[in-house]
């Protein structure tokens, strides 16, 4: 079995743990690959590292598992204190796949796929931007705001949550749209069908920037737009079971019960 390991940037603890994982994998007669498709992608770090690992796994159409060395770790599943047990279970295929929908965003700058969200936000921090929202080709409303977020259920606990959006169970498929600091009369988040196609157009001479899971898709000027829809492939999250989504949200947020 071939593993690819994605580490958390310049973090020393992540690289140290990744080296340990590599030794465990080789001791169990499996292989670590530096480039080219693997059978499974391992992320070592926090949720930011996991986002990059997921994009790689989606490209290769293989499962992904995260070891949480960060703080909240909503996307990471594996216990870093049990690397040998975890790798052994992976090699034995003793795990389940939790499929998650992805997002695809397209503009004049190109196309990008993400697991969390597409963020359209202002470039000038002192000025609101004006955006026209269309859903399935039908005009919905215009926003004067700091930005708009289109998120998956996986991304509903991220930036969209901070903007007032709902937490959506990841077993569901849906598009969550949340305006950021809007000055418009309609400021409520929307939960849309996964098949809906969203177009966000700049309607005032104030540029915006588009990010897909924090990857810069480029800048849009007045009259330009970005189209967001469900991704063609699902992300395959490895899970070992044992915790419900409700329990996971409760524990990650430290809620009383």
132-163 per-residue burial string, b: 16 or more CB within 10 A, e: under 16: bbbbeeeeeeebbbbbbbbbbbbbbbbbbbeb
Distance CA 54, CA 75 (A): 10
The CA-atom distances, in angstroms, between 129 and each of 111, 120, 142, 221 are 22, 10, 10, 11
Q: Please confirm, yes or no, whether 216 is among the known catalytic residues.
A: no
Residue found by looking up tokens 């959506």 in the block: 168
Beta-sheet strand order (sheet of 215-220): 190-192, 175-180, 147-151, 117-122, 208-212, 215-220
Which two three-digit tokens encode residue 54? 């997921």
Catalytic residue (choose from 13, 35, 39, 47): 47
Paired residues of 63 in beta bridges: 236
The CA-atom distances, in angstroms, between 132 and each of 96, 136, 137, 203 are 41, 13, 12, 6
Q: Catalytic amino acids?
A: 47
């Amino acid at each position: 079995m071939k593993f690819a390991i994605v580490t958390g940037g310049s973090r020393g603890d992540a690289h140290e743990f990744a080296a340990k994982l590599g030794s465990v994998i080789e001791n169990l007669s499996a292989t670590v690959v530096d480039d080219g498709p693997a059978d499974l992608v391992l992320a070592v770090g926090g949720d930011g590292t996991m986002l990059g690992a997921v994009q790689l796994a989606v490209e290769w159409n293989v499962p992904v598992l995260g070891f949480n060395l960060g703080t909240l770790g909503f996307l990471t599943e594996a216990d870093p204190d049990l690397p040998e047990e975890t790798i052994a279970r992976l090699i034995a295929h003793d795990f389940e796949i939790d499929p998650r929908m992805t997002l695809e965003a397209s503009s004049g700058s190109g196309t990008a796929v993400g697991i969390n969200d597409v963020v359209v936000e202002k470039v000038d921090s002192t000025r609101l931007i004006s955006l026209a929202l269309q859903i399935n080709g039908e005009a919905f409303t215009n926003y004067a705001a700091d930005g708009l977020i289109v998120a998956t259920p996986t991304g509903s606990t991220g930036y969209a949550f901070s903007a007032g959006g709902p937490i959506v169970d990841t077993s569901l498929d849906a598009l969550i749209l949340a305006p950021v600091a809007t000055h418009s009369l309609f400021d409520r988040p929307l939960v849309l069908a996964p098949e809906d196609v969203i177009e966000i157009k700049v309607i005032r001479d104030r540029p915006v920037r588009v990010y897909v899971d924090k990857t810069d898709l480029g800048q849009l000027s007045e009259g330009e737009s970005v189209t967001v829809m469900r991704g063609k492939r699902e992300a395959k999250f490895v899970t070992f079971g044992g915790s419900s989504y409700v329990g996971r949200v409760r524990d990650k947020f430290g809620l009383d019960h």
